[in-house]
Amino acid sequence: MMQWAQELLKKVEATRSVRLEQPAPVLDSVQEGALLKQYHPDYLGHERKLAVGPNAGEEKFPLELAELLEGDSSLEPDTTPKVDIETDVLILGGGGAGATAALTLAESGLSVHLATKLRLGDSNTVMAEGGIQSALAENDSARRHFADALVGGHGENDPELLRILCEQGPESIRWLSQLGCLFEQNEDGRFRLRAGGGTSVPRVLACRDYTGLEIMRVLKDAVRLTSTHILEEHVAVELLDDGAGQVTGAILFDRIAGKRICVSARAVILATGGSGQIRLQGFPTSNHVGATGDGLVLAYRQGCRLIHLDSYQYHPSGACYPEALAGQLVTEAIRSIGAQVVNAEGVHFINEMAYRDVLAGAIIKEIAEGRGVKTPHGKTGVWLDTPMIDLKNGAGTLARQFPGLIHRFERYAIDPTKTPILIYPTLHYQNGGIRVDTQCRTDRVGLWACGEVTGGLHGKNRLMGNSLLDITVFGRRAAESVLGNLPERGASTLTNLERFRSEREKVEGLAQTRSPQFFPEASGMKLESCAVEEAPKEEAASQSFEPPNPFNF
C-alpha cells in the first residue's frame, strides 16, 4: 500500500515529534488577502460578465457557469404547457432544504408536491460529514456565531439573513432532535460541541462523520410519513409564469416514464442545491451527481437576480489519492481535532484551522512552489497527517469519531490511523446564488428559494456547519412564508422564457449551449430529448437480467 510513497512518508514521520510541540504559522489578514489574490481559484480571472438576463453587464461569473446562465432552454420554441397536475405548493429539490420545507407544510392542509431529480435524499445534504453549527455552549451566543460567520464571509454576508440563521440555531437543533436526529451528547446529556474552522468557541454538533446522513435519513423518513406527493426522478426543466411575471409552476421531465409533465402551482419553492458538478476550472468536486446548478439557470430565466456567484468554496481537504476517491471530502472536523497539513518536506506550513479559502490557497501555493507530493496518477497534493489525531487524543480516537473516513480508505488498503492521506482542494460549495429576502422570496412573486441555491447568507466564504443550519432554518422559513403569502393560481405560460429567448437573439456570438446541464458531463447521462407525449422508451438493457441473489450461487 502506497509503496510509491515510502520515502516521502518517512519525512512526515520524522517531523511528528517536533510538530506536536510547535505551532504552525498563522497569517494576519494582510497576508491572507495576498495569498488569496495570488492562489485562490476565485481570484485567477476565470470569469466574465454576462450578456443576457438581470445580471447582464454587471459583476463577473465563472466562465463555465456564465455559459450555462446564458444558455438556451431545451424546450422547443413552440411548446405550449398543458397542465397535468394542479397543486398548491411545488417544491423542487429533495435534499435537506426541500424536505424541510415539505415537512413544515405537512400540517397546513395544502396539497404539496415535491419533485426531485434523483431519488428523495440523493443530494449534497446526505453527504455532509462534519456537522451543524448552533450557539449552545455557555460562553457562546447567537451574536458570537454571527461575528464568526461574518468575519469568515469577509464581511459580505447579508447581515439580516445571517442574524436569522444564528438566532434560529438552537431552535433548529430542537426541531431536528424532536424529529429524532441523534446528535452526539456528552456524559452529562449536553450536546457535544466541536470546533470548526473559524469558530471562536466550539459550536459544531455532529453525528460522527455522518451528520448529513443522519439529518437526511430522518427528514426523508418523516416526509414519507406525510401526505406530500413525492415525485422521484422528476427533473425540473423550466419554470412557468402567468404572463405577468408571477411564477406559476414548472415543467418536469419524468425520467422513468420518459416524458414531460406540467405542474401548475400557486407557489414554487426552489431547493435544487449547488453546482459543484459543473467542475469549474476542471477541479474535482465533493458534490453529489445532481449538483449542476439547475435552479440558478431556471430562476435566472425568470428574471431573478443572482449574487456572489463569483465566489465558490474550494474545500481544502479533498482526497487526492487513491484516484477513485479523488475529490471526495475529508471532513474539516478531522483538522479540528489535530490532523495537520504538511508538505512534501514534512513541514507544517500553515495552521489548519485557518478559514477554508485561505487554507485552500496555501495548499495550492505549496504545490505551485514545488513542495507538493505527486501521485502515480499525476495529481499533486499535500499530506493531511491523520495519525497525529491519536497521538494527540489517545489511541482509538480517529476510528471512533470518523468511521466513515476509515471505511472509505480501508478498501484501498490505506489506514488513516497509521498513514497520512493526500489532499488537494475540491470544489465544494456554491457560496452565492439566487438573491432572496428574509422571507426566502426571490425577485419573482410565486417563487421562493432556500438552501445552497440561494446567495447572500454566507458572504464569500461559508463556515463549516453553517449550511446544514441554513437548510433547516430557511427551509422552514420558506414554507412559513409561502403559508402567509400564498398567491392565487395563475395561468401556465412560458412568457418569461420567451422574453429571455428574444433577449438572447439580440446578442451576437452566444454559445449554442443548452441549459441547465442536469447531469455531470463525465456521467454521459442525458435528459431524453424532452419531447411532449413521447412514447415510453424501451426498458434499459439491465432490466432484462434478473439480478441473481448473491447468496444462492
Partner 1 sequence: MAEKKVEIRISGKTIQAQAGETLIHAIWSAGMPESIKTGCAGGVCGACTVTLRYSDGRKGGTELACMKPVEAGMEVFPCPVDAEAPVEPVMEPDVRSLQAAFPTLNRCTKCGSCSTACPMSIPVMDSVLRMQKGEFSEVAEDFTTCIHCGLCRFVCEDKVKPHNMGLWVRRSLGMSRDLSIPHGENENTEKEWQYLMHTDRELRLQNARQFRQTGKVES
Ligand X SMILES: Cc1cc2nc3c(=O)[nH]c(=O)nc-3n(C[C@H](O)[C@H](O)[C@H](O)COP(=O)(O)OP(=O)(O)OC[C@H]3O[C@@H](n4cnc5c(N)ncnc54)[C@H](O)[C@@H]3O)c2cc1C
* 111 and 88 Cβ atoms separated by less than 8 Å: yes
How many Cβ atoms from other residues are within 10 Å of residue 443's Cβ?
A: 17
Q: Are 266 and 147 in contact (CB under 8 A)?
A: no
Judged by CB under 8 A, which stretch of 205-213, 235-243, 268-276, 436-444 contacts partner 1? 205-213
CB of 480 to partner 1, least distance (A): 20
Q: Does 438 bind partner 1 (CB under 8 A)?
A: no
Q: Any residues with CB less than 8 A from the CB of 60 and at least 6 apart, and which?
A: 47, 48, 49, 310
Binding mask 356-395 for partner 1 (x = CB under 8 A): --------------------xx------------------
Long-range contacts of 409-418 (CB under 8 A, 24+ apart): 409/325, 412/1, 412/322, 412/324, 412/325, 413/1, 414/1, 414/2, 414/322, 416/386, 416/387, 417/386, 417/387, 417/389, 417/390, 418/387
Does residue 213 sit in helix, strand or coil?
helix
Q: Which residue is nearest to ligand X (CB)?
A: 95
Q: Are strands 247-254 and 340-342 parallel, antiparallel or unpaired?
A: unpaired
In terms of DSSP H, where are the helices of 43-111?
63-69, 96-105
The interface with partner 1 within residues 179-198 (CB under 8 A) comprises 179-182, 189-190
Contact code string over 401-420 relative to partner 1, x by CB under 8 A:
--xx--xx--xx--------
Residue 400 found at the interface with partner 1 (CB under 8 A):
no
Distance CA 35, CA 454 (A): 28
Find the largest Cα–Cα distance for the chain.
71
Binding residues for ligand X (CB under 6 A): 92-98, 115-118, 122-125, 127-132, 211-212, 235-236, 271-274, 286-287, 290-291, 294, 329, 429, 451-453, 464-468, 471, 516
Residue 384, C-alpha cell as written in the block = 493531511
- Exactly one of 10, 224, 400, 418 binds partner 1 (CB under 8 A); which one? 224
User: How many residues lie near partner 1 (CB under 8 A)?
Assistant: 85
Nearer to partner 1, 11 or 163 (CB): 163
Shortest CB 329 distance to ligand X, Å: 4
Residue 217 sits in the site that holds partner 1 (CB under 8 A): yes
Return the C-alpha cell found at 414: 490505506
| Of residues 349 and 500, the one with the C-beta less far from ligand X | 500
Looking at the Cβ atoms of 165 and 347, the one nearer to ligand X is 165
Closest CB to ligand X among residues 158, 366:
158
Q: Does residue 204 bind partner 1 (CB under 8 A)?
A: no
Task: State the nearest-atom distance from the C-beta of 256 to partner 1, in Å.
Answer: 11
Strand partners, 314: 427
Binds 76: which of ligand X, partner 1, none (CB < 5-8 Å by kind): none
217 binds, among partner 1, ligand X, none (CB under 5 to 8 A by kind): partner 1
Question: Of residues 518-547, which lie at the interface with partner 1 (CB under 8 A)?
Answer: 519, 522-525, 540-542, 544-545, 547
> Which of the ranges 116-124, 239-247, 347-355, 364-372 carries the binding residues for partner 1, by CB under 8 A?
116-124
- Residue whose CB is less far from ligand X, 2 or 235: 235
146 binds partner 1 (CB under 8 A): yes
DSSP-assigned letters across all residues of 481-545: HHHHSPPPP---B-HHHHHHHHHHHTSTT----BS---S-GGGT-------TTPPPPPPPGGGGS
Out of 141, 397, 493, 495, the only residue in the binding site for partner 1 (CB under 8 A) is: 141
Catalytic residue positions, numbered: 315, 335
Q: Which stretch binds partner 1 (CB under 8 A): 102-110, 217-225, 334-342, 346-354?
A: 217-225
Q: Which one among 289, 353, 399, 445 touches partner 1, defined by CB under 8 A? A: 289
Give me Rg for the CA atoms of the chain.
23
* Least gap, CB of 456 to partner 1 (angstroms): 14
What, of partner 1, ligand X, none, does residue 491 touch, CB below 5 to 8 Å by kind? none
- Judged by beta carbon, residue 362 or residue 434, the one nearer ligand X is 434
Contact 276, 397 (CB under 8 A): no
Q: Are 73 and 301 in contact (CB under 8 A)?
A: yes
Near partner 1 by CB under 8 A: residue from 221, 438, 505, 536: 221
Cβ atoms within 10 Å, residue 127: 18
551 interface partner picked from ligand X, partner 1, none, CB below 5 to 8 A per type: partner 1
For residue 249, give the amino acid letter.
G
Residue number with CB closer to partner 1 (508 or 522): 522
List the one residue from 48, 49, 174, 400 that touches partner 1 (CB under 8 A): 174
Looking at residue 71, what DSSP letter applies?
A: P
Q: Considering the complex, what minimum distance in angstroms separates the CB of residue 306 from partner 1?
A: 20
Q: Where is 399: in which H helix or E strand?
A: helix 397-401
* Element spanning 428, H or E: strand 421-430
CA-nearest of 290, 396, 409, 311 to 355 is 311
Peptide bond between residue 516 and the one before it cis (omega within 30 degrees of 0): yes
Question: DSSP strand E in 220-294: where?
Answer: 229-231, 234-241, 247-254, 259-270
Indicate whether 144 belongs to the interface with partner 1 (CB under 8 A).
yes
Q: Residue 468 binds which one of ligand X, partner 1, none, with CB within 5 to 8 A depending on kind?
A: ligand X
147 binds, among partner 1, ligand X, none (CB under 5 to 8 A by kind): partner 1
Which candidate, 99, 95, 101, 166, places its Cα nearest to that of 463? Answer: 166
